[in-house]
A and B are shown apart, each in its own frame.
Chain A
């Protein structure tokens, strides 16, 4: 158990809909990273939040957004869903700074858009 909790584990929704994925980081970790794993793109970094503030963006679509709340949990919002958004979405948490040595991953949320 990595200590990172993601809910829900599975999500099936229709095209055009909006969903919210939730991530609770390990106790004490201020950073949350979101990644998307798809068959064609592999594992790609989406966005990084640190202590409530956006720190970096990767290959995140404009239809996607995220936030990190005062209790440090994070939500990834996906809207106007398309079939191609079907993927496994991971979050990872980390102690931050140059002393950070690894990120801990949740079990992921498998999103299926039909």
Chain B
């Protein structure tokens, strides 16, 4: 079984400042890693994903994340945030093996509030 821990439930940050949203996971098998964003009253939108290869992955809206296998972490970063980045961010894992089912296991989410 997999589990995901998002270490911060809320992160306030000033506009144009950098931000890091932390995510740690636990799994006994290899996983794919994802970050999703949910804007108020909206569905889930994929920000970026790590499948294999380079440990630094770039996503949409200027976000990037780094996979660290030894730390079992997948932290999300943005060098300069904008008001429009205010949303809830979810880290998720998807196992690469199993009984033919590859459901996502989500963290509890981090609410990013960008302050003007």
Contacts and interface: CB of A to CB of B under 8 A. Distances in A.
A42 B106 contact: yes
Interface residues of A, number: 27
A44 B104 CA distance: 9
B97 A106 contact: no
Interface string A71-114: 00000000000000000001010101110111111111000000
Contact of B102 (A2, A44, A96, A107): A96
Given A2-B43, A102-B49, A105-B44, A55 B32 contact: no
B103 A98 contact: no
Contacts of B51: 101
Contact of A48 (B43, B44, B101, B106): B101
Contacts of A45: 103-105
A12 to B, nearest CB: 15
Nearest to A108: B43
Q: Chain B interface mostly helix, strand, loop or mixed? A: loop
Given A33-B103, A45-B103, A45-B105, A98 B97 contact: yes
Interface in B70-109: 90, 94, 96-109
Nearest to A4: B43
Interface in A10-42: 33, 35, 42
A105 B43 CA distance: 7
A89 to B, nearest CB: 11
